[in-house]
Amino acid sequence: MISFDKKSSSFRLETPSSSYVISLVNGYVIHSYYGSKLGDDDATYLSRPKEFGFSDSPVFREKHSFLDYIPQEYPTDGMGDFRESALSVTDSQGRNGIELKYKSHNIFDGAAAISGLPAVFDSCDCTDGNNVPKAKRLEILTEDKILGVEVALIYTVFENLDAIVRSVRITNNKKNPVFVKKALSAAFDIDDDHFDVITLHGSWARERHIERHLVHMGKQGVVSMRGETSHQEHPFIALLDHNADFNKGRVWGVNFIYSGNFVADVQKNQFESVRLVMGINPENFCWKLEEGESFNTPQAVLVYSENGLNGMSRTFHDLYRDHLIRSPYKKSPRPILINNWEATYFNFDTQKLLDIAREAAKDGIEMLVMDDGWFGKRNSDDCSLGDWIVNEEKLKGGLKTLVDEVNRLGLKFGIWFEPEMISPDSDLYRAHPDWAIQISGREPGMSRQQYVLDITRKEVRDYAYEAVAKILRSANIEYVKWDMNRQLSDIGSTALGSDKIGEFYHRYVLALYEMQERLITEFPKLLLENCSGGGARFDPGMFFYSPQIWCSDDTDAIERLAIQEGTALIYPLSTMGTHVSVCPNHAVGRVTPFKTRGYVALSGTFGYELDITKLPPEDRTLIPHQVELYKKYSSLVRDGDYQRILSWSDGGDADCWASVSKDKSKALVTFVQVLNHPNYKTRFVKIQDLKENATYKISFPDENQNDFPPQTLTGRTLASAGFALRRDWGDFQAKLICIEEI
Ligand code: GLA
């Protein structure tokens, strides 16, 4: 998987279908190649030795034209590479500019943990005691002797996945402090080949819409400065062949295992090569390193696919399911929940919740989640965050009485928190106004009428953690929805002096990780679902703590198509929080069939977010069947290979995707006819990656057998011609199609 060839002075990182070559030339660490598998050739020529030809020492007379052309593995600033850099450091004498030269290297067995940060791990299943390393790790140590700074370039490669996970460790070996002003996690250059770039964009209630365009000259990319991942932009960027589609073409996808400010850019430069970078956003970032101290960057995941976007998605899904999510729930069915947010908003009491639970139990729903409004005097979003004391006017007899009663009805119980927040109208704020993030002398800005707690301060995060834990210790609570409903501004902290305030954003993320680590350590069986005003914290960093994340506050089945397509481009369906809600939909007012809402939600964690006691009978009667469908297909959706077939958001009239079992014996296809046109006839739907010579039965479990008779086709025909789908129905209608080997 990882080797070093002395003759060509190059490292090879091999995955099942990609090669990644790093060369050492005149002490520089050069990025020679990343793409489809190479033959067993001498790779020296890939390090562009001719460019070294104008002088024995590239630093002699034309250093700029050398550095500004050569693709370094970890480009630094200030020395003559004028493209986007990955590292910028200043020492206490004000010396800017850093130049890294190779020092040594080591190849290790296994992935390595990074203290305080989420990181990929080896074992496929952390619960089965199988700790045989499936990964190898290369650490290349480089240094700048003038600054006394050492930089370790770290690469983790898995035996059976086309993924390379990169991170960097920066150490100050000199007496005086140095200031790291930029420390990205990965960079690589590829000669341009008429590439497209894909990024994900959105807003509240319309997260992660896919955007694709031709790579143009100069810089293009995405950032967050919001202190969290954000609704608006996503820490993901992909380069792909202009003609690449779901199943063909080369794709290089990069994703960031982090939950704070990020930058992801591609830059096409004068020599028609493209540099891709990913890491912590350097804006307002500056990390002080005293002698002997190190800074670890979060990990960036590089995935290469020569089978289009579906190939890329499959690798990300497998990596995250097997090597990042730790929860005991990751390979087991999630309880079907009913959440009271869209059912009641703040207007509920014990009686109302028990009415919902009682009716839900009759239909096979397995867990009641009590959302916002159960604490302090919170009857709207203008108060009480921080006062995590049960409101006994609403919950008569207290929380335990409610939980016990819900359990007696046969349901588990879950609860909502927003632990990082503080309302100005709260006892907590009245006692500790300085606990809110604020710039001394300025009035902090509110958002949703709330401030953010300065959890970089230990006493503040201890309080916030204890407040949550105390409630969890008080009753049989088996699920927590950890919300975060505003973004960070007015950055100031009494805990950090002016030389360290540039550390605030990253320290905030580390504090959040520490709190969630504590939570899952104290409550190892807890099912934790992260959330942020819908899906603003949907990122792989959070997978390390929670196996599922609320995807969006938009529960409209049609809006969800684009949101879930963008999310599933990188993340497994098992991680996507998906609920059926009522119509007209609360976010967009659209009316869609209950059946369609159910099918769209089935491709995620599945649950309900409605007042079941008021549901029209024609919808209510469908719930037990939907529950049955979920039970039948949840393992296929959770553990199978995702396959995108049609995209409505990309200008189509229908949306279609499938989950194919790993052994290729079955698949579940969801087809949503978004726009109906007159006089439409049969359409053929192709499924890839089944067994070519096996025969499959294609059936429509919820349709009348006379109108939709089963078909029998081979895997080869399903991939080339597809199965026939009659289309004689209206807008927003959906079909579920079951494919089984016979
Ligand atoms: C956020 C969440 C919602 C709900 C509300 C409660 O918007 O995304 O699901 O929990 O907060 O205030």
Asked if the model's pLDDT at residue 378 lies above 60, the reply is yes
What residue type is 209 in one-letter code? H
Q: Which residue, judged by its Cα, is nearest atom 1 of ligand 1?
A: 533
Least Cα distance to 544 among 579, 578, 510, 503 occurs for: 510
- Chain-centroid distance of CA 517 in Å reads 18
561, 655 Cβ separation under 8 angstroms: yes
Determine the average pLDDT of the residues in 136-146.
97
Q: What pLDDT is recorded for position 126?
A: 45
* DSSP assignment of 512-576: HHHHHHHHHHHSTT-EEEE-BTTBTT-SHHHHTT-SEEE--S---HHHHHHHHHHHHTTS-GGGE
Tokens representing 70 are 């050569």
| pLDDT tier for residue 49 given thresholds of 50, 70 and 90 | confident
Give residue 447 CA to ligand 1 midpoint distance, Å: 14
Q: How far apart are CA 574 and CA 640, in angstroms?
A: 10
pLDDT in tens, 441-496: 999 999 999 999 999 999 999 999 999 999 999 999 999 999 999 999 999 998 89
Q: What is the pLDDT of residue 285?
A: 98
pLDDT, one tens digit per residue, over 343-364 is 999 999 999 999 999 999 999 9
- The four Cα atoms 393, 396, 402, 405 give a dihedral, to 10 degrees, of -150
pLDDT in tens, 593-637: 999 999 999 999 999 999 999 999 999 999 999 999 999 999 999
Reply yes or no: is the peptide bond before residue 584 cis, omega within 30 of 0.
yes
What are the tens digits of pLDDT across the range 387-438?
A: 999 999 999 999 999 999 999 999 999 999 999 999 999 999 999 999 999 9
Over residues 190-202, the mean pLDDT reads 95
Average pLDDT on 573-590 reads 98
pLDDT per position as a tens digit, 696-716: 999 999 999 998 999 999 999
* Ligand 1 atom with minimal separation from the 609 CA: 9
**560: phi > 0 → left, psi -120 to 50 → alpha, else beta; which?**
alpha
Structure tokens at 645: 């077939």
What pLDDT score does 731 carry? 84
CA of 342 to the centre of ligand 1 (A): 9
Note whether 195 and 242 are within 8 A (CB).
yes
3-state SS string for 156-177? EEECCCCEEEEEEEEEECCCCC
Average pLDDT, the chain: 95
Bridge partners, 214 (sequence order): 196
Per the CB < 8 A criterion, the answer to whether 194 and 181 are in contact is: no
Query: Which ligand 1 atom minimizes the distance to the CA of 532?
Result: 8
Nearest CA to ligand 1 atom 11: 533
% pLDDT > 70, the chain:
97
Segments of 6-86 assigned E as strands: 10-15, 18-25, 28-36
Q: Which of 372, 480, 542, 608 to probe ligand 1 with, by most ligand atoms within 8 A of CB? A: 372
pLDDT of residue 127: 45
Predicted local distance difference test score (pLDDT) of residue 730: 79
Give mean pLDDT, residues 188-195: 94
Contact criterion met (CB below 8 Å) for 585 and 549: no
> From its phi and psi, is residue 345 left (phi > 0), alpha (psi between -120 and 50) or beta?
left
User: What mean pLDDT comes out for the span 572-587?
Assistant: 98
Cα(122) to ligand 1 centroid in Å equals 35
Q: Could you tell me which residues are beta bridge partners of residue 38?
A: none
Site residues for ligand 1, CB cut-off 6 Å: 341, 371-372, 416, 483, 485, 531, 533-534, 550, 553
Kindly state the average pLDDT of the residues 244-269. Answer: 98
Cα(539)–Cα(256) distance, rounded to whole angstroms? 8
| DSSP classification of residue 741 | E
Measured in Å, residue 469 CA sits from the centre of ligand 1 at: 20
Q: Which residues are catalytic?
A: 483, 553
- How far, in Å, from the CA of 353 to the mean position of ligand 1? 17
Does residue 57 surpass a pLDDT of 60?
no
Q: Which has the minimum average pLDDT: 55-59, 274-278, 455-459, 694-698? A: 55-59
Eight-state DSSP code of residue 96: B
Residue whose Cα lies nearest atom 12 of ligand 1: it is 372
Q: Is the pLDDT of residue 53 over 80?
A: no
Q: List phi, psi (to 5°) of 255.
A: -130, 155
- Distance of alpha carbon 562 from the chain centroid: 16
CA distance 82 to 99: 13
